[in-house]
Amino acid sequence: MVTEAISIMRQLWTGEFVDFHGQFYDLKAASLYMKASVPIYIAAVGPKMAKVVGRLGDGFICNPPTTMEYVKSVLFPAMAEGARQAGRSYEDIYKVYELDVSYAKDRNQALSSLKHVVAPLSIEGYVEPISDPRQLEAMSGEISESKIERSYVIGTTAEDHIKKIQEAFEAGFDHVCILSFSPNEEECIDMYKKQILPHFADR
């Protein structure tokens, strides 16, 4: 479905009338009556979709709980393989990592603020889609601090955050997007403004 959708979007952005007959979608004389050039960024957490990124994506998006080790050993190689199959350059794919963080001077406050966000990771064995967040909350168990630390930042200092961001750049990402779940967001933003962004000013 993703690959067909990408094909359809790119055809429609030519401004022409498009006929498309796929496995999942059908269009007859569809047109946007305009031209557009929009880069398509594709999220992937497994090798199958990473290959699709390599074949079709302008950019790659990855987020927790995916670890850097998994990215480097599984996702990036799969993406490179997909790019080779399509005769594309792996280096031309823009790579973005979403880093979820929680900042507070008190570590327990930072941890507590992030725990409710990642609690669904502790749910195992369910297949049916669940739309009610209250049901997910009720199913959530206790998730260990060590598991949270593998992919997220529970930081009480700027150095804690800088280390994780640097790891993403060193792994091969071009851009790091910060998503904060801090108990005091203004305090976190101020810390990033004064200490984190100046550290990476040359990137």
Provide the pLDDT for residue 148.
Answer: 72
Provide the pLDDT for residue 5.
Answer: 96
Provide the pLDDT for residue 64.
Answer: 76
CA 27 from chain center: how many Å?
A: 30
Number of other residues whose CB lies within 10 A of the CB of residue 140:
16
**Mean pLDDT, rounded, for 73-98:** 96
Mean residue pLDDT of the chain comes to 89
The answer to whether 98 and 62 have CB atoms below 8 angstroms apart is yes
The answer to whether 106 and 184 have CB atoms below 8 angstroms apart is no
Which neighbouring-strand residues pair with 197?
A: none
Is pLDDT of 136 > 60?
Answer: yes
Is pLDDT of 146 > 80?
Answer: no
- Give whole-number Cα distances, 200 to 7, 62, 154, 165, 193, in Å: 37, 20, 20, 9, 11
Q: What are the φ/ψ torsions at residue 14 (nearest 5 degrees)?
A: -75, -15
What pTM value is reported for the model?
A: 0.81
Provide the pLDDT for residue 130.
Answer: 74
Provide the pLDDT for residue 113.
Answer: 84
Q: pLDDT band for 203, please (50, 70, 90 cuts).
A: confident
The answer to whether 175 and 158 have CB atoms below 8 angstroms apart is no
Provide the pLDDT for residue 118.
Answer: 72
Q: How many CA atoms lie within 13 A of 127 on its CB side?
A: 0
Number of other residues whose CB lies within 10 A of the CB of residue 122:
13
Is pLDDT of 139 > 90?
Answer: no
Is pLDDT of 68 > 70?
Answer: yes
Q: What are the φ/ψ torsions at residue 41 (nearest 5 degrees)?
A: -100, 130
CA 100 from chain center: how many Å?
A: 10
Higher pLDDT, 158 or 131: 158
Provide the pLDDT for residue 114.
Answer: 79
- Strand, helix or coil for residue 27: strand
pLDDT in tens, 147-191: 677 768 888 999 999 999 999 999 999 999 999 999 999 999 999
Provide the pLDDT for residue 119.
Answer: 64
